[in-house]
Amino acid sequence: MSDDFFPVPEDWAKNALMDKAARAADYARSIDDADAYWLERAQRLDWITPPTRANESSFVEADFGVKWFADGVLNVSANCIDRHLATRGDQAAIIWEPDSPDAEPRRYSYAQVHEQVCRFANVLKAAGARKGDRITLYLPMIPEAAFALLACARIGAVHSVVFGGFSPEALAGRIIDCDSTLVVTADEGRRAGKAVPLKANVDAALKDCPSVKTVIVVQATGGAVTMAPGRDLWLHEEAAKLSPDCPPEPMNAEDPLFILYTSGSTGKPKGVLHTTGGYLLWASLTHELCFDYRPGDIYWCAADIGWVTGHSYIVYGPLANGATTLMYEGVPNYPTPARIWEVVDRHQVQTIFTAPTVLRALMKEGDEFVHATSRKSLRLLGTVGEPINPEAWRWYHSVVGEGRCPIIDTWWQTETGAAMIAPTPGATDLKPGSATLPMPGVVPQIVDSEGQVLDGATEGNLVIAQSWPGQMRTVWGDHDRFFQTYFTTFPGKYTTGDGARRDAEGYYWITGRVDDVINVSGHRMGTAEVESALVLHESVAEAAVVGFPHDIKGQGIYAYVTLNAHEEPTDELRKTLVKWVRTEIGPIATPDAIQFAPGLPKTRSGKIMRRILRKIAEGEVSAQALGDTSTLADPSVVDNLVANRQG
Ligand code: 6R9
* Any domain includes 489: no
Pairing state between β 73-74 and 251-252:
antiparallel
> Quick one: pLDDT at residue 1?
44
- Residue 259's beta-bridge partner residues? 160, 273
Question: Secondary structure of 244-259 in the HEC alphabet?
Answer: CCCCCCCEECCCEEEE
Binding site feature residues for ATP: 385-387, 409-414, 498, 513, 524
| pLDDT tens by residue, 586-623 | 999 999 999 999 999 987 777 788 889 999 999 999 98
pLDDT tens digits, one per residue of 22-78: 999 999 999 999 999 999 999 999 999 999 999 999 999 999 999 999 999 999 999
| Residues β-bridged to residue 328 | 97
| Alpha helix segments (H runs only) across 68-197 | 76-77, 83-88, 110-126, 143-155, 168-178
If you take atom 4 of ligand 1, which residue's CA is the nearest one?
413
- Under DSSP, is residue 421 helix (H, G, I), strand (E, B) or coil? strand
**Does a structural domain hold residue 608?**
yes
Q: Measure Cα distances from 6 to 22, 396, 406, 427, 431 in Å.
A: 19, 13, 9, 12, 6
ipTM of the complex: 1.00
Burial class (CB in 10 A: 0-12, 13-18, 19+), 212: buried
pLDDT band at 629 (very low <50, low <70, confident <90, very high): confident
Quick check: is 605 in a domain?
yes
Residue 291 within a domain: no
Residue 123's pLDDT band (cuts 50, 70, 90): very high
For residue 156, tell me if it sits in a domain: no
User: For the segment 282-295, what is each residue's pLDDT rounded down to a tens digit?
Assistant: 999 999 999 999 99
Mutate which of 272, 357, 412 for ligand 1? The one with the most ligand atoms within 8 Å of its CB, which is: 412
How distant, in Å, are the alpha carbons of 164, 208, 589, 644 from that of 592? 21, 30, 9, 15
What CATH number did the domain enclosing 610 receive?
A: 3.30.300.30
Residue 437 in any domain: the answer is: no
> Is the separation of the CB atoms in 331 and 301 below 8 Å?
no
- The residue-averaged pLDDT of 393-406 equals 97
- The C-alpha atoms of residue 71 and residue 48 are separated, in whole angstroms, by 11
Binning pLDDT at 50, 70 and 90, where does residue 2 land? Answer: low
Domain membership of residue 627 as a residue range: 521-644
Cβ 354 under 6 angstroms from ligand 1: no
Asked if residue 382 has its Cβ within 6 Å of ligand 1, the reply is: no
The count of domains in the chain is 1
Per-residue burial over 347-378, b = 16 or more CB atoms within 10 Å of its CB, e = otherwise = bebbbbbbbbbbbbbbbeeeeebbeebebebb
- Whether 498 lines ligand 1, by a CB cut-off of 6 Å, is yes
Q: Give the span between the Cα atoms of 164 and 138, in whole angstroms.
A: 6
Q: How far is ligand 1, taken at its centre, from the CA of residue 385, in Å?
A: 4
592 within some domain: yes
Question: Is residue 611, in this structure, part of any structural domain at all?
Answer: yes
pLDDT digits (tens, 9 = 90+) for 472-509: 999 999 999 999 999 999 999 999 999 999 999 999 99
Write the CB contacts of 241 (distance below 8 Å, at least 6 apart in sequence): none
Q: For residue 608, what are the β-bridge partners?
A: 602
Q: Is 515 in the pocket of ligand 1 (CB under 6 A)?
A: no
> Does residue 269 have its Cβ closer than 6 Å to ligand 1?
no
Residues 6+ apart with CB under 8 A from 572: none
